[in-house]
Amino acid sequence: MRRSNKELWLAFLAAFIVTGVYAFVITSTRQVPAASSLFGHLIGILGFLLMLVTETLYSYRKRSRRARWGSMTAWLQFHIFTGLLGPYMVLLHTSWKLNGLAGATTLLTVLIVVSGFIGRYIYTRIPRTLEGVEITSPKGQAEAASLVRARRLFSIWHAVHIPLGMALFTAAFFHIGAALYYATLLR
């Protein structure tokens, strides 16, 4: 089965639109929007919410026996779309200052996106039906060996991607808590 790249193109289109708005703000204010500005907070919050939705809804749909809304293929496409757009918006939120906890969180964000691209590549090497269900019995011996290799790689990738995502969200929540405490509550 040949996979569509629709979610990638939509994510790039949405990122292009976000970039246009970001460029408009830079042109209007004649400076890169600070992370603590209204626009900086807005883009950071929206990006983080997209990332949170990326993780929680897709994971819930994948693991829940009761939740059967939408196909897994559509949810994976949604996961990829929001998993690209959200981190991009968070990157713009940084105002290109990558120090301290915020810098570490940004680094984890970049790592999780790169890991996602690797996972998507490995995922496409495993044959699936149109509904996204893994095909378990390939036709030839050579195909069976490559399928075993792809499954092994995918399980290794999963063992890295999931803890990396947990570290990212832990750091992000600490960053949000620290930002609220130091920038808001101490004023």
What would the mean pLDDT of 21-41 be, rounded to a whole number? 92
Dmax over CA atoms of the chain, in Å, equals 68
Q: At 164, is the secondary structure helix, strand, or coil?
A: helix
The model's confidence at residue 18, banded by pLDDT at 50, 70 and 90, is very high
The model's confidence at residue 22, banded by pLDDT at 50, 70 and 90, is very high
Q: How far is CA 48 from the centre of its chain?
A: 10
Question: Is the pLDDT confidence value at 111 over 90?
Answer: yes
Q: Where are the domains of the chain?
A: 6-185
d(CA 142, CA 161): 28
Q: At 134, is the secondary structure helix, strand, or coil?
A: strand
Q: What tokens does 105 get?
A: 């969180």
The pLDDT mean for the chain works out to 84
Question: If we measure between CA atoms, which residue out of 110, 122, 109, 185 comes closest to residue 157?
Answer: 122
DSSP state of 98: -
Give the model confidence (pLDDT) of 32-89 as tens digits. Answer: 998 888 899 899 999 999 999 888 887 787 777 776 777 777 888 888 899 999 999 9
Q: Which pLDDT value is given to residue 55?
A: 83
Q: Which pLDDT value is given to residue 152?
A: 87
Q: What tokens does 32 get?
A: 């890169």
What would the mean pLDDT of 140-154 be, rounded to a whole number? 75
Q: What tokens does 110 get?
A: 């970049």
Question: Is the pLDDT confidence value at 1 over 50?
Answer: no
What would the mean pLDDT of 89-110 be, rounded to a whole number? 88
d(CA 155, CA 162): 11
128 phi and psi angles, rounded to 5 deg: -140, 160
Rg (CA), the chain: 19
